[in-house]
Amino acid sequence: MADAVAAEALSALRAAVLGLLPAAVPDGLTRRLRVQARAVLLLGMGGYVGQHVEPSAALHGRRVAARIELDVDGGNDADAADYAATLSGQILGSTRREFVQSGIQRIRGVDATGARALAFDIDFEYVPVPVTGEGVITELALGSYANVTPYRTRGVADFGGASLVLLADPLADFVPATDPLAAPAAAWSASAAPPAALVQTAASIGGPLDLSAPDKAGAHLLWRPQGVALNLARFVFGLSFTSAGPDGIGIVFAHRAGDEYFYYLASARNGYQLFGRRRPSGFQTLASGGGGFVTALPQRLVLTAFDQTLSAEIDGQRSLTVMLALPPGSGEIGLFTHGNDTARFTAGRLMELVAV
């Protein structure tokens, strides 16, 4: 079945690029624009990025990676070269604000060496605004997540930064917390700057950034949908996030107190992933491995916990697994940062794993 939103995204990308170019074309010259899509990916969780308030409807989006080629035809070579240089300057001279407002997240690999040609790679995000309302979403796909557990999934809650920023109190369903050994205190808020997200702007940290010690005290944001503390022993928790900085981003779970919880953490700076446990007596490494995340790019983290298995995926690739049963009674779940003051969590989806 054709992806209608993807088709719209490609048309919107073409319009966004044309919007960066001067409308007038010198006499005797023409220009041709080609958009060569290299990948069209789902934004958020299975394409869902939040809920539009008025009208009430789901927001779905796509991320497009494409190669853009601009050719100048007609006229003499000197005039064509001058016009190609003008187009290059117009594109590269656009401000970050202009890019973001048009959905363009990044332009790179600009090739302006040809007298009549200009080419570059582009990352583009498209989230169409609904014009009519719809019912409340009760089921939401996890995109590339494959449920290989012996349980079926049941939706518990989801959030999207685009909808949270429209609320009078965006953090009404969340409880900020800081590990007693971390400083400074966590500074959580909701930011409307594209892409809208829950953000952490304090570099809360306790313990080293690398794996020289398991101590990873940091900032937590416990998720309590409709004010209810979650307590799930078997679950799937998916997050979409970006981070301009390279330090720790992850998930805290089975959280019982500020000094008693489990956690998953990924670091771009030191290239690792880590499952750990925090007790009042100290920190313990449960499993670690290479990898981490990539800065400045939207990514999706999925944590699965069932029976005696904890596993993590980043962008659909199984990255770290540990065989361990969560303690009876489990505890709360939420967002986690370690020394990272640029973390942006754009969407989240929590599902419980229940017996078939």
288: CATH: 2.60.120.560
161 and 49 in a common domain: no
**Which residue, chain included where needed, has tokens 């679950």?**
235
Span 286-338, pLDDT tens digits? 999 998 998 988 888 999 999 889 999 887 776 799 998 888 777 999 999 99
CA distance 62 to 60: 7
189 and 281 in a common domain: yes
Count of the separate structural domains present in the chain:
2
Residue 145 belongs to a domain: no
CA distance 66 to 331: 43
CA distance 229 to 241: 23
Residues 6+ apart with CB under 8 A from 301: 238, 239, 240, 241, 249, 250, 251, 264, 266, 293, 312, 313, 314
342: amino acid identity, one letter: T
3-state SS, 73-128, equals ECCCHHHHHHHHHHHHHHHHCCCHHHHHHCCEEEEEEEECCCCCEEEEEEEEEECC
Classify residue 349 as exposed, middle or buried by CB count within 10 Å of its CB (0-12, 13-18, 19+): buried
101 and 187 in a common domain: no
- Output the pLDDT for position 92: 78
- Output the pLDDT for position 146: 60
**Sign of CA pseudo-dihedral 249, 352, 197, 128:** positive
- Rg (C-alpha) for the chain, rounded Å, is 23
CA distance 152 to 160: 24
296 and 169 in a common domain: yes
Between CA 175 and CA 179, with CA 177 as vertex, the angle to 5 degrees is 160
Residue 131 belongs to a domain: no
- Output the pLDDT for position 150: 85
- Report residue 259 as tokens: 């000094």
Classify residue 169 as exposed, middle or buried by CB count within 10 Å of its CB (0-12, 13-18, 19+): exposed
Give residue 63's domain range. 4-126
Residue 324 belongs to a domain: yes
Residues of the chain with pLDDT under 70: 1-2, 44-58, 112-113, 129-147, 318
327 and 265 in a common domain: yes
212 and 162 in a common domain: yes
Question: Which residue, 281, 184, 264, is CA-closest to 216?
Answer: 264
